[in-house]
Structure 1
Amino acid sequence: MAAASVALVAGCTAQAAGTGSTGGGGSASPSSSSPVEPSASASDSAEPEASPTADGKAPSPSPTLPTPEPSDSTSASTGTPASPAVLKDGDENERVRELQARLRQLGVFDRAPTGFYGTMTAGAVKAFQKKQGLPGTGSVDETTWQRLLGASRKPTADELKPSTTNALDAPAPACLTGRVLCISKESRTLAWMIDGKVVSSMDVRFGSENTPTREGTFSVGWKAREWTSTIYHTPMPYAMFFSGGQAVHYSSDFAARGYAGASHGCVNVRDRAKLAALFDQVKVGDKVVVHW
């Protein structure tokens, strides 16, 4: 349906997490309560200045030994004393990504690997340590790492960097029939489903506490490939409106800042290419289910 033929005020845009709203967009429950691990980068530490030798020449720097990569080996015995932490809160590297992928295989980490060791990763490590009868420190020492290697397999490339960051939630019963945009606030995902089967999926975010996204069963009322919010005057590409001014649409802010922000009620999608393909498949009248 052509956007120009619809006489209503519509649109919502991004806002910083935890901020209020001056109006518009719609209302329902927040996604900001779902914890996410913030991205972080390790700070560089300065090398100490070398003292000159007796002949006045600067000494050759001592080579830095690389940290050896662990190999898949048998798990350590329960009685092995804990060794210093190999991975801990605040670390960010590819070893953390592998840790998260292995924990996800075992069902104790329910997000895709990010490479950053935060509170969610620490909680998953504690859960694994408890199952193994190890001290629940939340940090990975050598004993924990060896146990993990013995309990899991080497992650595939898709497990390390899956196309959809968040694992799909179990669909609500209303999602199991017909053509449905099944949107879960719990897993922060949108699954395009036809007769109970997932055709495609993508990450989404929602409104803040003050401008929440409404929950319930709706239908796509109208679509606009290019649309600018009449309230906030910001672009809303590939907008599919389902409840007043609330719509599923691409968000450049979500793509740039992730879950550090929130919408004013709309369902933001960060993968433009995926949403563009979905936009061409969804028809006016298709069902939209927003649930926890």
Structure 2
Amino acid sequence: MSVSRSTGGVMGKGAISAGAVAVLLLAAGCKAAAVDTDGGRSGDAKPGGGDGKPGASATQSPKPGPDSDPDSTVAPDPDSTPEPSTPAPAKTLMEEGDRDGQVRELQARLRQIAWFFEHPSGTYGASTTEAVKGFQGKRGLPRTGRTDTVTWQRLLAMTREPTRYDLYSGGGMPPAKPDKRCLTGRVLCIAKSSRTLTWMIDGKVVSTMDVRFGSQYTPTREGTFSVYWKSRHHVSTLYDTAMPYAMFFSGGQAVHYSSDFAATGYGGASHGCVNVRDEKKIASLFAQVRRGDKVVIYK
């Protein structure tokens, strides 16, 4: 079909309008381009999409990479999932009838949190078993009375490490290493660190006993002294208290039996003297010690 343009703004015979041309193109199945009123095209669509690049499409999906290969991801097989492991049963560390240092520590720790009210002895008896049962029950653990690994770890987490005085709050602490001044002659070897008096002759131990000392306000003096006076039934004129089996070594300070020490233990203190609580032991010591025998008091 021939199309003639009009001249001078008047459409001539046989001329077809721009709108008619668009209708004809649509009917022929072609994509119509936008037509300006002056007959020119505007905004021609480029093949391949709106980004102007040949062959690209706005809706085209990117090619899958090697990591996105659907065959590379396999769903877990529920039948192959491992079953949770059963925890191993708690191992028993201590039980009734045991006797050692760890039992003593157990008792000292239970004593810290008011589950054990006796002095640590190192012997796992009925009272220790009951204390452990109470501790276990309070924390939802099986009340076996035996100290297993779980019970022990819970107790460790709740308490501090016991001191030597905690472990031997009732006495019986092993004597400290003798001071070198105690190794010759007849000596009352008194160690504050272990709270013990060891009667020694020429470096050999004859007997050992628990002792306690003065408070911070009336401390027991340290140093080397000698027994200058013995008084079997002595009574203090300063404090009006009995001082049986007194062996004086420095002023008014003496080694003597104390009924208060025997009754209350380390909850109290002396006025500077060295108190002994075992009356039989000090009676024997009093019979052996002579005036002039050495007294060594050290930390």
Q: Match for residue 103 of structure 1?
A: 102
CA deviations over 1:140-187 (Å, ceiling 9, x no partner): 8413899xxxxxxxxxxxxxxxxx722111001100110000000000
Q: Letter of the aligned partner of 1:219 in structure 2?
A: S
Does residue 282 of the first structure (1) align with residue 261 of the second (2)?
no
Q: Secondary structure at the match of 1:202?
A: strand
2:278 and 2:109 mapped to 1: Cα distance?
Answer: 21
1:177 and 1:229 mapped to 2: Cα distance?
Answer: 32
Residues 20-39 of structure 1: pairs in structure 2 closer than 5 A: none
Q: Letter of the aligned partner of 2:148 in structure 1?
A: E
Does residue 253 of the first structure (1) align with residue 260 of the second (2)?
yes
Does residue 222 of the first structure (1) align with residue 241 of the second (2)?
no
Residues 191-206 of structure 1: pairs in structure 2 closer than 5 A: 191-206=198-213
Q: Letter of the aligned partner of 1:182 in structure 2?
A: C
TM-score for both structures, normalised by structure 2: 0.49
Does residue 118 of the first structure (1) align with residue 118 of the second (2)?
no
Question: Which runs of at least 4 in structure 1 moved beyond 6 Å after TM superposition?
Answer: 84-87, 113-116
Indicate conservation of the 8 Å contact 1:205/1:263, yes or no.
yes
Q: Match for residue 8 of structure 2?
A: none
Q: Match for residue 243 of structure 1?
A: 250
Q: Match for residue 276 of structure 2?
A: 269
Indicate conservation of the 8 Å contact 1:82/1:141, yes or no.
no
Q: Letter of the aligned partner of 2:192 in structure 1?
A: K
CA deviations over 1:171-228 (Å, ceiling 9, x no partner): 0110011000000000000000001111001000000010000000000010001100
CA deviations over 1:60-106 (Å, ceiling 9, x no partner): xxxxxxxxxxxxxxxxxxxx76859988xxxxxx94x945x2438xx
Size of the alignment, in residue pairs? 170
Residues 92-241 of structure 1: pairs in structure 2 closer than 5 A: 95=96, 98=98, 101-103=100-102, 117-119=110-112, 141-143=147-149, 165-241=172-248
TM-score for both structures, normalised by structure 1: 0.50
* Cα 1:260/1:81, change in 2 over 3 Å: farther
* Cα 1:144/1:223, change in 2 over 3 Å: farther
Q: Secondary structure at the match of 1:190?
A: strand
Higher fraction of helix:
2
How many angstroms does 1:118 deviate by? Answer: 3.2
Q: Letter of the aligned partner of 2:241 in structure 1?
A: T
CA deviations over 1:125-146 (Å, ceiling 9, x no partner): xxxxxxxxxxxxxx98413899
- For structure 2, the 5+ residue unaligned runs are 1-86, 121-135, 137-145, 153-170
Q: Letter of the aligned partner of 2:271 in structure 1?
A: H
* Cα 1:281/1:84, change in 2 over 3 Å: same
Larger Rg: 2
Q: Match for residue 161 of structure 1?
A: none
- For structure 1, the 5+ residue unaligned runs are 1-79, 88-93, 125-138, 147-163
Where relative contact order (Cα < 8 A, 6+ residues apart) is larger, the structure is 1
